A and B are shown apart, each in its own frame.
Chain A
Amino acid sequence: MSDRLPGALTRRPARILLLAVALCLPPFYLDAFWLRIGLFSMAAAIGAVGLSLLSGTAGQLSLGHAFFLAVGAYGYAYLAGEPGPGLPPVIAAVLAVLLAGAAGGLFSPVAGRVKGIYLGIATLALVFLGHHVLLTADSVTGGFNGRSVPPLELGGFAFAASDPELVVLGVPFGAEERLWFLGLALFAFTWFTAGGLLRGRPGRALAALRDSETAAAVMGVDVARHRSAAFVVSSMYAGLAGVLLALAFRRVVPDYFSLALSIDYLAMIVIGGLGSVAGATAGAVFVTALPLLMTRYADQLPLVAAPGSTEGAVGPTEAARYLYGAAIVLVLLYAPDGLHGLARRVREHLRRRRPRTPATDPVPPPPQPAAAARPKEHTP
């Protein structure tokens, strides 16, 4: 790979720049509906990258992600709002992320000792206990009705509909447009940091833990420390996602942060392909955008009833859930490396079909279908 490095160096920044420009365009062309889809997808992607580090890279099953999202979301709403200390929003956001990390750290006596499926169920407890606290600690959380979220302000500039009024290139910049750029910045930050972690010393240690804790320990990896650290880091990404979600929703309610949300995040990283930042992002977009798109276009989809129509009919939300339930089953049983792996295989396939490298192709296409069909002959 390293022999191709110079070429990659010249191409990669160019690609990233192109992507960045493309991602800056939507606020100028798309309406609030699409911007909200993008915004929720970016928030979900940040959270999914965190879970991917924990469950995909370090191999620790967590169903508690919703809890850490809640800590971030409520942490921000409380710290920046009334009742609450009413801190400057930026400071509140940073503290909320740190708070989520601290919550992950507090869980480390469990995370460092409990393994595999036991850990999965233990994290389940976090979601239920957290939900209970959100409902009962009214003075901080606002109880069942939740509480409103103050907008983020940065040096007198508010990420809200006005204050100050802003028109860029003839497009009025409301809350969605402004939050889009905030989301984009946080998402870029997530990619940058997660990439650094994965390709650096911590990422290698976490991957070693997943493959064999015994071997990792002998190679000098402090197993308990890195198991806990994975939880802290993953919780901080979840906290950041929680802050962004809170800003996008403008209100936080306990029922949003339920077990179903944790399972959504698990679905994202599974569908995307475990342990890759790009996969987690793709999965997050899929799981987040699908129900919203299906709701919007329900009247044009076959077999799907409009929302709120007769009971028992397949509504868009249900249709979306069928689709992604099926996606989890199919991906895991037939393409365990998810969308990420699928994309890689397609890329390899295309590359192989290019005529300029015929000599490097050791496998001619015809045997492949035969190989795929072979296992069937064995089944009695």
Chain B
Amino acid sequence: MTGFLDNVLNGLALGAVYALVALGFVVMFKASGVLNFAHGSLLLFGGYLIAVLHDDLGFAGALALAVLATAALAGALDRFLLQRGGLDEQSAHIQTIVTIGIDILLFTDLARRIGGDLLPLGDPWGDAVTELGPVTVADSRLAAIVVSTVVIGTVFALFRFTSWGLSLRAAAEDLEAAALMGVRLGRVRAGGWALAGALAALAAVFLASFPAPGLERTTGQIALHAFPAAILGGLASPVGALAGSLLIGLTEALVVGYQSELHVLGEGFGDVAPYAVMLLVLLVRPTGLFGGKGAARV
């Protein structure tokens, strides 16, 4: 039973981190209609900055700078590169493929710098654990749950209560109408991308901290697990992304936790379980669990 609780808690923590990434996908998609394949590399960029800077600036300083820099990079990529391809929905498809090119550039460069190293991020949790009744949890996992909850709450508030959030939702509904109402699409879009970049840098911290050994060149690829999470939720629904992330996190943790019982599926099935779940869901609901009208954007 404690084993089960352990797995569930692990799954929730993993889901909370995926939610940061998946929410990024959704924000960018709502803002621009583009699915950002370079998101994993943005995450790696944020993590790399923290790894390089935390000796000089301390963890908090490095984190703040990395979040800002990743946000700036993401915003600039959209504003100065993608938006050259146009703001309409037809070019969003092309720009999705452009992000693959951007990913190749970013990832090649970061991977070259990181090489085969494992970079510590200097986070304050280290490998400390906390006893919660019958279960033992890593502090980093608790931090992941708490921080993600707060941050995601803030993002939802941004959506609902700020004029930027209103503009974003209006643009996602109807681009032309939003433009006619005076929404500055270019800025609103880039703002969405910057927000997603900030979330990715934050997610890097938790993906690279205990029990992970540190930041490696492949850390960004873990972000790919947030693809199924975002798709399950329907891509255009923030709530859906949250639900999808928790589902994926739990699936992964349970599959890993019960590896020996699930031996028939092969070793390491936990890594690909999110994709299996996603295929099954798409078979039944081709636009995801929460994919309603907004999903028709593509």
Contact A329 B105 (CB under 8 A): yes
B98–A332 contact, CB under 8 A? yes
Instruction: A124 to B228: give the CA distance in the assembly, Å.
Output: 10
Beta-carbon contact of A118 and B288 below 8 Å: yes
Q: Which of B50-83 contact A (CB under 8 A)?
A: 81
Q: Digitize A295-334: 1 where CB-to-B-CB distance is under 8 Å, 0 elsewhere.
A: 0000000000000000111110010011011111100110
B93: chain A residues at CB < 8 Å are 61, 116-117
Please report the C-alpha to C-alpha distance between residue A136 and residue B109 in the assembled complex, in whole angstroms.
32
Q: Does A208 contact B (CB under 8 A)?
A: no
The B contact surface, by secondary structure, is helix
Q: Is the interface of A mostly helix, strand, loop or mixed?
A: helix
- Mask: chain B, 259-283; 1 = CB below 8 Å from A; 0 = not: 0000000111101100110110011
User: Which residues does chain A contribute within 8 Å of B282, judged by CB atoms?
Assistant: 110, 113-114, 118, 122
B283 touches A124 (CB 8 A): no
Indicate if A197 sits at the interface (CB-CB under 8 A).
no
Residue of B nearest to A262 (CB): B100
Out of A122, A133, A325, name the residue touching B102 (CB < 8 Å): A325
A184 at the interface (CB under 8 A from B): no
Tally of contact residues, A, Cβ under 8 A: 44
Q: Mark A93-136, 1 if CB is under 8 A from B, else 0.
A: 00000000000000001100111111011101100110111011
Q: Is B153 an interface residue (CB 8 A)?
A: no
Q: Would you call B227 an interface residue if the criterion is a C-beta within 8 Å of the partner chain's C-beta atoms?
A: yes
Is A270 close to B, CB under 8 A?
Answer: yes
Instruction: Give Cα distance in the complex from A327 to B102, angstroms.
Output: 10
Closest to A130 in B: B272
Residue of B nearest to A327 (CB): B101
Q: What is the minimal beta-carbon distance from A106 to any residue of chain B, in angstroms? A: 12
On whether the beta carbons of B112 and A318 are closer than 8 Å, the reply is: yes
11 CB-based A-B contacts, threshold 8 Å: A116-B93, A122-B282, A129-B279, A136-B266, A136-B268, A259-B224, A267-B104, A313-B112, A321-B104, A325-B101, A336-B94
Show the binding face of B for A, using Cβ within 8 Å: 35, 81, 84-85, 93-98, 100-105, 108-109, 112-113, 115-116, 224, 227-228, 231, 235, 266-269, 271-272, 275-276, 278-279, 282-283, 286-288, 298
- Chain A residues with a Cβ under 8 A of chain B: 61, 109-110, 113-118, 120-122, 124-125, 128-129, 131-133, 135-137, 259, 263, 266-267, 270, 311-315, 318, 321-322, 324-329, 332-333, 336
Since A270-B97, A322-B108, A328-B98 are in contact, a sample of 14 more A-B pairs with Cβ atoms closer than 8 Å, ordered by chain A residue number, is: A61-B93, A114-B282, A114-B286, A116-B298, A125-B278, A129-B272, A132-B266, A259-B224, A266-B97, A312-B115, A325-B101, A328-B97, A329-B105, A333-B81
